[in-house]
């Protein structure tokens, strides 16, 4: 089980590090768009939406990475008063709740992305570029699956803690 947990952690870490690099091309697009608009008085019709796509992928894809590294906001009023066993049980409960929400997100996100793919949906922003966006919508269920895998790994880590407490 520990190899499985480490494999998920490593995969999540690698995906997160890759996604963190996306901020560089996003900054490049925003900078290019701003320079073209303010110095050369010309618009870049694709600039806004490309930056939006990159930032969207960066944000929703980074959820599992943030969960792995405990980068989210945590209210620890209750957990400071709990024993290690109590903390593990509370953590397992929290992971189960998150997994339930992610199961709904995966299902509904997949339906949403599938419908968008069938109609080859395009942007609603009304730019002259008007790109297809169906492919972008698949990042919601994909990112949710990555997040669910990381939640499963976190849940299993706490099961190992409880198992070791029981044995020792």
Task: Give the pLDDT score at 165.
Answer: 79
Q: CB-based burial of residue 12 (10 Å sphere; 0-12 exposed, 13-18 middle, 19+ buried)?
A: buried
Closest residue by Cα to residue 55 from 102, 106, 13, 19:
19
Q: What is the pTM of this model?
A: 0.89
Task: Give the pLDDT score at 61.
Answer: 93
Task: Give the pLDDT score at 120.
Answer: 96
Task: Give the pLDDT score at 98.
Answer: 96
Task: Give the pLDDT score at 107.
Answer: 98
Residues of the chain short of pLDDT 70, as ranges, are 168
């Amino acid at each position: 089980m520990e190899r499985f947990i480490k494999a998920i952690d490593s995969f999540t870490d690698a995906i997160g590090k890759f996604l963190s690099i996306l901020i560089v091309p996003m900054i490049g697009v925003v900078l290019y768009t701003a320079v073209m608009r303010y110095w050369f008085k010309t618009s870049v019709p694709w600039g806004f939406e490309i930056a939006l796509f990159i930032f969207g992928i960066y944000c929703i894809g980074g959820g599992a990475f943030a969960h792995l590294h405990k980068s989210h906001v945590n209210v620890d009023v209750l957990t400071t008063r709990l024993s290690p066993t109590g903390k593990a049980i509370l953590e397992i409960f929290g992971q189960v709740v998150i997994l339930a929400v992610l199961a709904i997100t995966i299902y509904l996100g997949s339906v949403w992305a599938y419908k968008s793919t069938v109609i080859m949906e395009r942007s609603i922003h009304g730019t002259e570029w008007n790109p297809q966006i169906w492919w972008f919508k698949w990042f919601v269920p994909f990112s949710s699956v990555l997040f669910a895998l990381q939640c499963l790994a976190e849940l299993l880590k706490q099961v190992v803690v409880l198992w070791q407490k029981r044995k020792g």
